[in-house]
Chain A
Amino acid sequence: MSGLLEIEGVWKHYHRHSVLRGIDLSVDSHEVVCLIGASGSGKSTLLRCVNLLETVDDGAIRLDGTEITDVRANPDDVRKRIGMVFQSYNLFPYMTVLDNITLAPRKVHGVGRAQAEEQARELLSRFGLDGRAAAYPDRLSGGQQQRVAIIRALATRPRLLLLDEVTSALDPALVAEVLEIIRELKESGMTMILATHEMGFARDIADKVCFLSEGVLLEQGTAEQIFTDPREPRTREFLRRVLGARRI
């Protein structure tokens, strides 16, 4: 009961529709959690709630033991400790790769330019993007852009990294290079929550897999348990369809 992130009874309504219906989830330090489920099941909304991009309509979320959904909490302070990567990269197109990465460390965390750039170059070379620092995002492939977006999120040294379907906009040949980074992050001990459609990858990397259906967290367990012996019929049905489609 003292995980890094505690999600307790979270509800979210859009108009007259509940997209999250009482989600409970606990994430420990260094744990990798994969959220799976059909489009519209609430995976992305849950991540956006954790990053306070959405206001929860009931329930609470705690990070390091303090409630971040508290009305008096400063969202900017919360977001300093959480990194997020989006499906469509969301890089700033008018900035070079280096400026994209150093923006938050310099402006939010008060790191000096020289130090921020040195750190950015280090990250770039660690993730195989040497020599790309001065390029603008539209000069890069989708896979490279997404790697830059991950580095941008890492540059602020977050306690927790949220990855929202980060490979969904990439063509298959480029997916591997992004997944490789995530795998490396897991090895370095980064705590992550991923919303993903990559079942094989989820099975491979996740410490915990959560199946969401219509805003309900129907089932959670180890990757092994969810993929080989799901308890819920709806999980079974979902996996059968997704994995079946993969074989065609």
Chain B
Amino acid sequence: MNDPSIEPGGTSTAEDPAASTAGWAKSERQRERERLRRRMDLRSSSVATVSTIVFFVLVIWLVTASPGWPRVKETFFDLGQFTDAFPDVLRGFLLNIKIFLIAEPLILIVGLVVALVRNLHAPVFFPLRSLAVLYTDVFRGVPTILVIYLVGFGLPALRLQGMPSDFATLGVIALTLSYGAYVAEVFRSGIESVHPSQRAAARSLGLTHGQTMRFVVLPQAVRRVVPPLLNDFVSLQKDTALVATIGPLEALRQAQIHAAETFNYTPYLAAALLFILLTIPMARFTDYLSARSQRRRGM
């Protein structure tokens, strides 16, 4: 691409005269070409702006012109209800963030360990390996909300010594079990995407299976799976709301309480807004990372 930071002859580095643009005087043709390119860029961004505005105006018009709109506006967009409920919902939301922050590293550990176990090919490890397969099969198959119910109400019923009875902790355990299975598969696909020649090269140097994994395969695999991992974490941020079903006072539960008192659904909107505010930075970060890796591959 055209690098605007380069100016004709002006940026030659003293230590390496060959590695510079010295001797280049931008021609009139190139000036004209750049002017034209700027004009075309301006035109396409104007088109983008206009079409975006038209689209949103249309959508807003369609929604507000619908017959049920006055009723919806009353029950979902009540500013008074919003300000009433917001502090409680926000307080609940801090619990969501806490659940997320604790569950996330646990999920990474569980996922990585399970993925590594599934990659142990020695016959001795057969029982471990089949356990890992069973784990991913079961927990990817069972809906997350069911796992939360089963863990939330089932584990305490065992009355084991030291078993946590706090519902938020139980929620973290359930989310970790459910998401660990997904993340294990993400890690595994990353590990398998590293070309076999890399493994061959490492083993030919005398590295053991473990060392090969640790120093050669995982560094490449992890880098590749960062975008899908972040995607799973965006999903996890939302799914912390599922923990509401077993009782802790997080954002959704707080919104439910308010809505139940007033029969007005605006508190749900408040909760939804908070979740969006949390996931958007994560989504943009994912975009940034994939754009960076594209650039590195020179595309």
A residues lining the B interface (CB < 8 Å):
9, 11, 13, 15-18, 21-22, 55, 57-60, 69-72, 214
Given contacts A55-B2, A71-B40, contact A16 B27 (CB under 8 A): no
Q: Which residues of B contact A18 (CB under 8 A)?
A: 20-24
Contact in complex: A13, B6 (CB < 8 Å): yes
Docked CA distance A22–B26 (Å): 11
- Pick the contact of A71 from B5, B21, B23, B37 — CB < 8 Å? B37
Nearest-neighbour CB distance to chain B for A214, whole angstroms, equals 6
- Interface of B, helix, strand, loop or mixed by DSSP: loop
Within 8 A of A (CB), among B25-59: 26-27, 29-30, 33, 36-37, 40
B64 CB within 8 Å of chain A: no
Given contacts A16-B6, A214-B18, contact A55 B1 (CB under 8 A): yes
Beyond A16-B6, A57-B6, A58-B29, 6 additional pairs, beta carbon < 8 A: A17-B20, A18-B23, A21-B23, A69-B33, A71-B36, A214-B18
B19 CB within 8 Å of chain A: yes
Nearest-neighbour CB distance to chain B for A217, whole angstroms, equals 14
Given contacts A58-B26, A58-B29, contact A16 B19 (CB under 8 A): yes
Contact in complex: A71, B33 (CB < 8 Å): yes
Contact in complex: B21, A17 (CB < 8 Å): yes
Given contacts A17-B20, A18-B24, A55-B2, contact A60 B13 (CB under 8 A): no
B261 CB within 8 Å of chain A: no
- Looking at B5, B13, B30, B36, the one whose CB has the most chain A CB atoms below 10 A away is B30
Given contacts A58-B30, A59-B29, contact A17 B24 (CB under 8 A): no
7 A–B pairs (Cβ distance < 8 Å), ordered by A: A13-B3, A16-B13, A18-B21, A22-B23, A59-B29, A60-B29, A70-B33
Nearest-neighbour CB distance to chain B for A56, whole angstroms, equals 9
B211 CB within 8 Å of chain A: no
Nearest-neighbour CB distance to chain B for A10, whole angstroms, equals 11
